[in-house]
Every structure is written in C-alpha cells, then in structure tokens.
C-alpha cells in the first residue's frame, strides 16, 4: 500500500503526512475519562475514534504503544480554584472510599468499551499512581522559573511562560484575550493572574485524597497527570496525542505549556488530534445541559429520548459513519438507519466466508474492466482511511464493494470474470477493514432458547409422523452442540449433555 496516512494536526491546523519519529514504533497518548460517573456516548466516540486509529496503524505494520489514562484525582469541579474534587464529591455522596468510586466506574468503563469492541490500551496509567512523577515535573517547572508557590500550592506562571513561549498556540488564543475574558472567580487570591493554573493544590483539612509533597500535603492539578504520564511511558516527544475537542482548551494547552516549561522543552506530541462532540437535537451533550445519554441506557433502551435499545455494534457503526472531526447528531432515526447499514455489512462478511474461488476455473472469461473496477474500489476503501481517518468514506466504498460481492454471490457476476488475484484482494480488503480496522463484529443472534424450541417442535412433528431418519438427524446434530433431547411422558424437553 503506497498510500500514506494523512492526519489533521490541530497544532498546525492542517492535514499532514504522518511520519513517526522512530518507525516502525508509534507512541500514542489519549486522554481517558475522569472516572466519577457512568460512561456516555461522548466517551464512546472518543474511545472508538482512537481505537480505529490504533487498529489502523497496527494494520499498516506499525508497532504502536497506546497509552490511555484514567483520571482518578485532581480533576476539580471548577478549574484551578476552590472547587471540589469530582471523585471525592461522588464518594461523599455515596459514602464510599474515593478509590471505590474510581474502581467502580473504571470497571463499568472497561465493560462498556469491551462491548463496543474497543481494544484495551497497552498501558492505562492512573493519576494517583504517578504522584512522584508529577511532583518531579513541578519541581522542574519551579526550577525553570515558570511556576511559583503560594501558601502550599504551586501555580503555573502563564505570563512568565508566555514571554518566551506561545501560550495558546494549540487552541488559537492569545493571552490578552484570555485576560480580558476571565471572569472574577472567588478564592483565587493565591494566583498572580487569573490565567495561571494549579500544578499542586494544598489540601484543605477535610480533603481525603492527599499526598505529601515539598510544598504541602495536597494533590496534583488536573493537567499535570497527562504531561507526567505521557512523558514517563512515551518519552519527552512522542507521535500522537488524542482527546476530545472540549479538552483542547485549557487541558491540552496546559499540557503543552507544562511540557515546554519542564526539562522536556517540547510540545510533548507532534500530532495533536481532536475528535468532535456528540450532539442531541443539535445541541452538545454536556454536563450542565443534563442531556447525557449513558451507554447503559443506550444498550438497554432506557433513556427517555430513546425509542428502543441499540446494540453496541449499531452504536459503533453510527459513530464510524461520520468523520471524527464533525459533530455527530444523535437521533433515533439515525441509529435505526445505522442498524440496517451495519447488518448489511455483516451479511457481506458472511457471504465472503462462504464464497470461494473455484480451484480449476482460472478466469474463464476475464473481464478486464470489471477487475479494474473492483481493484479501484478496494483502493478507495484505503484512500478513505488514509485521508485523515475518513471512516465515512471508507464505509461508503465498502458498500460499493459489497454490491459487487452480492452480485458475485447471486451469480450476476460470475467468478470466472475475475482473476484469482482480484477476488483475493476484494475479500481480504473487505474482511480486514470491516473486522480488524473498523472493529465491527457480528453480534449474537436472537434468543437461542427460542430457536431450540423451534427445533424441538420439528422433532416432535417428525416423531409423530414416524420420520425416524429425521428424528435421528435432529438428535445427532443437537448432540454436536452439547444438547440432548429428553422424551418425557409429559412432553419433550432438552438438557445439557452431561
């Protein structure tokens, strides 16, 4: 495949050819969730987006180290002021240890992502497990004169930093605008400037989650964990940093500032990737709007805006049918359409399993034009992926390919019109992209017990009609599945074979 992957880099605001720093190794860091609540559609979009990037890079032969963190400390209700820690607030509410909250929601997050066929990252570090690394980084920034201590807390000195660096280079802001727009917030007396952000916060006496540091018993600022952990596992400069568009400012901006101000002196990542938001009725799903749709509600059909339950693969397909940098509007109609599209793609997968190129028929009536057309379609599939992970285009091309596969299956196109090479390319492309790269897999069929009842019904009829050959066949086939039929006086039943 001589096509090259292009990625849109927020840092440069344009699509760039992806060239890893140390091929074939690729280092990739993605901002994971703060585990204080149920995972929702937005988490799914982010996870699926970077899962596809991860899968695609691997399919292209890269050796990827994928790090996705779990934020379990330091994420305050309000940034860098006197807000409560999200985790701790939840813990108090539910009368739990903060780490119980963390574990609980981390487990659910993992479970839901597994349903969505999202591969686990290679390393999943937690902020609370990297306090030492974070303290070290703060010390570096202090030593470099770009942070200051105030009453046991340490703040990043944005104005000082901005003298030699560009604070706002990622999100396209400038410090004057920021200063002009910062609203007066209470409890910020310690900060020299409203734009400064916390690297370390001194804990109030009531605060449970606290660690010793040179400055105070306290906890690290939210932005710091990502800088410290990405550096620890991927180095001072790595290839890809991903996350939601809403994290661009201030979170990612601060990450870059911290990395530059520390002894790393880098932007941390070379390609900064941002996925767009999910909207509901044209409005962003947001905490303050209270219009979140949790994944459990989606899979269970329990949310009030849902007309029905949607399976994880329907949701995955729905996400992939849009480009990751576009907002994706949620609606029942769109999900239902996604369901059908998904099943269509799966039917194609099943057809391909059964289709074989006949051994002896080596292109009886080769149709050069058709072969060319099919090969072009397979290239289109990859062209979509390479063009900034445009899964929407890839899926469109896969549907075009699927039409031909269906025609082949129905004999509207004969196998002899294709060369073996064309057929293999078509099959391999379809299978690889659908299952390995897009990560779409078959979902279990309906109720197995109901199907079994149907078989038992046929068994009963066969027996009544004394079609003993059929009776024997049914028994034998079911036995292969580990099921035995029991002819009881009271009726017919089944049991697991012991």
Partner RNA sequence: GGUAACGUGGCCGAGUGGCUAGGCUCAGCUCUGCAAAAGCUGCUACAGCGGUUCGAAUCCGCUCGUUACCUCCA
When asked if residue 282 is in the footprint of RNA (CB under 7 A), the reply is yes
Least distance from C-beta 347 to RNA, angstroms?
Answer: 6
DSSP code string of 60-122: TT-EEEEEE-BB-SS-BSSTTSSPPBHHHHHHHHHT--HHHHHHHHHHHHHHHHHHTTPPPPS
Total binding residues for RNA by CB under 7 A? 80
Give whole-number Cα distances, 412 to 276, 321, 402, 456, in Å: 42, 29, 13, 38
Q: How many CA atoms lie within 13 A of 320 on its CB side?
A: 35
For RNA, the closer of residues 22 and 403 by Cβ is 403
- Of positions 55, 65, 68, 86, contacts RNA by CB under 7 A: 86
- Of positions 25, 99, 248, 375, contacts RNA by CB under 7 A: 248
Among positions 35-64, residues that touch RNA (CB under 7 A) are 37, 41-43, 45-46
When asked if residue 125 is in the footprint of RNA (CB under 7 A), the reply is no
Among positions 191-230, residues that touch RNA (CB under 7 A) are 222
Q: Angle at Cα 356 formed by Cα 350 and Cα 362, nearest 5°? A: 155
When asked if residue 173 is in the footprint of RNA (CB under 7 A), the reply is yes
Among positions 400-439, residues that touch RNA (CB under 7 A) are 400, 402-403, 406-407, 409-410, 412
When asked if residue 326 is in the footprint of RNA (CB under 7 A), the reply is yes
For RNA, the closer of residues 412 and 441 by Cβ is 412
Buried b (16+ CB within 10 A) or exposed e, 174-194: ebeebeeeeeeeeebebbebb
The answer to whether 43 and 109 have CB atoms below 8 angstroms apart is: yes
Least distance from C-beta 187 to RNA, angstroms?
Answer: 12
The answer to whether 275 and 252 have CB atoms below 8 angstroms apart is: no
- Of positions 58, 92, 159, 284, contacts RNA by CB under 7 A: 284
Tell me the per-residue interface mask from 126 to 165 with RNA, x by CB under 7 A, - otherwise.
----------------------------------------
- Of positions 12, 182, 361, 481, contacts RNA by CB under 7 A: 182
The answer to whether 227 and 258 have CB atoms below 8 angstroms apart is: yes
Among positions 252-281, residues that touch RNA (CB under 7 A) are 275, 277-279
Among positions 338-377, residues that touch RNA (CB under 7 A) are 338, 340-341, 344, 347
For RNA, the closer of residues 137 and 254 by Cβ is 254
Sheet holding 63-68, edge to edge: 63-68, 25-30, 238-244, 269-275
Tell the residue number behind the tokens 């606290």, with chain if given.
Answer: 210
The answer to whether 491 and 459 have CB atoms below 8 angstroms apart is: no
Beta bridge partners of 486: 493
When asked if residue 396 is in the footprint of RNA (CB under 7 A), the reply is yes
When asked if residue 334 is in the footprint of RNA (CB under 7 A), the reply is yes
């Amino acid at each position: 495949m001589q096509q090259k992957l292009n990625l849109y880099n927020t840092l440069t605001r344009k699509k760039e050819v992806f060239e890893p720093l140390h091929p074939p190794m690729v280092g990739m860091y993605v901002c994971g969730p703060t585990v204080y609540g149920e995972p929702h559609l937005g988490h799914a979009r982010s996870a699926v987006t970077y899962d596809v990037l991860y899968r695609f890079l691997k399919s292209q032969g890269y050796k990827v180290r994928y790090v996705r963190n779990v934020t379990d400390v330091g994420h305050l209700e309000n940034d860098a002021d006197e807000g409560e820690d999200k985790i701790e607030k939840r813990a108090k509410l539910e009368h739990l240890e903060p780490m119980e909250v963390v574990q609980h929601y981390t487990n659910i997050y993992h479970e839901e992502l597994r349903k969505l066929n999202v591969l686990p990252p290679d390393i999943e570090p937690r902020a609370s497990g990297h306090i030492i690394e974070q303290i070290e980084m703060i010390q570096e920034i202090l030593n470099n004169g770009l942070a200051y201590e105030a009453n046991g807390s340490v703040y990043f000195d944005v104005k000082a930093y901005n003298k030699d660096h560009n604070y706002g280079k990622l999100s396209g802001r400038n410090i004057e605008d920021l200063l002009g727009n910062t609203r007066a917030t209470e409890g910020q007396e310690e900060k020299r400037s409203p734009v400064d952000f916390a690297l370390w916060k001194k804990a109030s006496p009531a605060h449970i989650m606290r660690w010793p540091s040179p400055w105070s018993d306290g906890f690290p600022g939210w932005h710091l964990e990502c800088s410290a952990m990405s550096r620890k596992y991927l180095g001072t400069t790595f290839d890809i940093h991903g996350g939601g568009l809403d994290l661009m400012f201030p979170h990612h901006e601060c990450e870059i500032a911290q990395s530059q101000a520390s002894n790393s002196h880098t932007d941390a990542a070379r390609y900064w990737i941002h996925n767009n938001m999910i909207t509901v009725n044209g409005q962003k799903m947001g905490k303050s709007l209270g219009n979140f749709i949790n994944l459990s509600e989606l899979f269970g059909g329990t949310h009030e805006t849902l007309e029905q339950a949607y399976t994880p693969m329907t949701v995955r397909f729905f996400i992939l049918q849009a480009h990751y940098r576009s907002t994706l509007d949620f609606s029942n109609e769109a999900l239902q359409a996604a369901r059908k599209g998904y099943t269509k793609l799966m039917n194609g997968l099943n057809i391909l399993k059964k289709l074989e190129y006949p051994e002896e028929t080596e292109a009886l009536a080769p149709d050069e034009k058709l072969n060319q057309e099919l090969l072009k379609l397979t290239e289109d599939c990859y062209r979509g992926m390479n063009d900034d992970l445009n899964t929407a285009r890839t899926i469109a091309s896969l549907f075009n390919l699927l039409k031909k596969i269906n025609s082949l299956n129905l004999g509207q196109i004969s196998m002899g019109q294709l060369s073996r090479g064309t057929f293999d390319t078509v099959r391999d492309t379809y299978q690889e992209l659908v299952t390995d790269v897009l990560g779409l897999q078959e979902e279990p069929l309906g109720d197995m017990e109901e199907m079994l009842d149907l078989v038992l019904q046929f068994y009963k009829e066969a027996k009544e009609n004394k079609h003993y050959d059929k009776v024997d066949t049914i028994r034998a086939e079911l036995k292969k599945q580990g099921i035995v039929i029991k002819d009881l006086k009271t009726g017919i039943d089944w049991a697991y074979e012991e």
